[in-house]
C-alpha cells in the first residue's frame, strides 16, 4: 500500500486552505480482504499523517501512536456517508433555530463545520468528492472507525469531535482515508 502523491486531488485540496480534514489516497495492489484491508489502510494513513507538515489545524504533529487491538469499525452505506445534512446531530424541537448538539460526526458536517467555520459551498463538497471518487459511488465500500486507538484523535476529543472513514474504491483499487480531529 502506497500513497498516490501525484493524484490530482492533492493539487485541488491545496486550494482549500480552510478545509481542515485530513485526506490520503492510497494505491492498493493486494487481494482485497474487506475489513482487514481497511484496517491496514487506516494504519498506513495514521502513520503518514504523523509525518505531514500539517494535520487538521495542528502543525508538525510528529508520529502518532496506535494501539491496533483497540481498532473498531462499522461498515456504513454510501448513502449514509455522503448524506448532505448533519444526520449525526440531534435537535430538540425547542432548539430548531439554534446550533445542533453533537452526538456523532458525519462527513458532511466535518467538511462544513470546523472550529472556526468555513465559506465552502455544497458545490465544493461535491467537487472534491467527484475527484476522490470519479467512477461511481456504487463501487465504494466504507467503514467508520472509532477514536480510541490513536492519539491522532486527541485534539478533536477536546471539544469539536472526531471521525475517521476508510473508503475502498473497487473500480480504481484504491483507498481514500478521511480523518477529522480538530481543536480550537
How many other CB atoms are found less than 10 A from the CB of residue 39? 19
Whether the Cβ atoms of residue 67 and residue 138 lie closer than 8 Å to each other: no
Looking at residue 139, its pLDDT comes to: 92
Q: How far apart are the first and last CA of the chain?
A: 33
Looking at residue 96, its pLDDT comes to: 37
Looking at residue 158, its pLDDT comes to: 81
Whether the Cβ atoms of residue 18 and residue 39 lie closer than 8 Å to each other: no
Instruction: State the Cα–Cα distance between residues 175 and 166, nearest whole angstrom.
Output: 7
- Which DSSP symbol is given to 4? -
Looking at residue 104, its pLDDT comes to: 66
Per-residue pLDDT of the chain (184 residues; tens, 9 = 90+): 999 999 999 999 999 888 889 999 999 999 999 999 999 999 999 999 988 887 766 666 779 999 999 999 999 999 889 887 754 443 344 443 444 434 567 898 889 877 777 888 889 999 999 999 998 888 999 999 999 999 999 888 887 789 999 999 999 999 999 999 877 6
- Segment holding 75, helix H or strand E: strand 73-76
Main-chain phi, psi angles of 68, to 5 degrees: -60, -25
Instruction: State the Cα–Cα distance between residues 154 and 139, nearest whole angstrom.
Output: 32
Q: Which three cell numbers mark 129?
A: 468528492
pLDDT (tens digit per residue) in 127-173: 999 999 998 888 999 999 999 999 999 888 887 789 999 999 999 99
Amino acid at each position: 500500500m502506497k500513497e498516490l502523491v501525484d493524484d490530482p486531488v492533492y493539487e485541488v485540496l491545496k486550494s482549500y486552505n480552510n478545509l481542515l480534514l485530513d485526506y490520503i489516497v492510497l494505491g492498493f495492489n493486494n487481494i482485497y480482504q474487506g475489513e482487514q484491508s481497511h484496517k491496514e489502510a487506516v494504519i498506513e494513513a495514521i502513520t503518514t499523517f504523523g509525518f505531514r507538515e500539517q494535520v487538521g489545524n495542528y502543525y508538525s504533529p510528529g508520529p502518532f501512536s496506535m494501539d491496533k487491538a483497540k481498532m473498531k469499525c462499522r461498515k456504513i452505506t454510501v448513502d449514509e456517508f455522503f448524506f448532505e445534512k448533519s444526520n449525526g446531530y440531534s435537535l430538540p424541537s425547542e432548539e430548531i433555530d439554534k446550533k445542533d448538539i453533537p452526538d456523532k460526526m458525519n462527513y458532511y458536517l466535518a467538511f462544513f463545520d470546523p472550529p472556526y467555520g468555513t465559506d465552502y459551498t455544497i458545490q465544493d463538497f461535491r467537487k472534491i468528492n467527484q475527484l476522490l471518487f470519479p467512477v461511481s459511488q456504487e463501487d465504494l465500500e466504507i467503514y467508520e472507525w472509532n477514536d480510541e486507538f490513536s492519539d491522532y484523535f486527541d485534539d478533536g476529543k477536546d471539544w469539536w469531535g472526531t471521525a475517521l472513514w476508510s473508503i475502498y474504491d473497487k473500480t480504481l483499487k484504491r483507498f481514500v482515508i478521511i480523518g477529522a480531529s480538530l481543536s480550537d
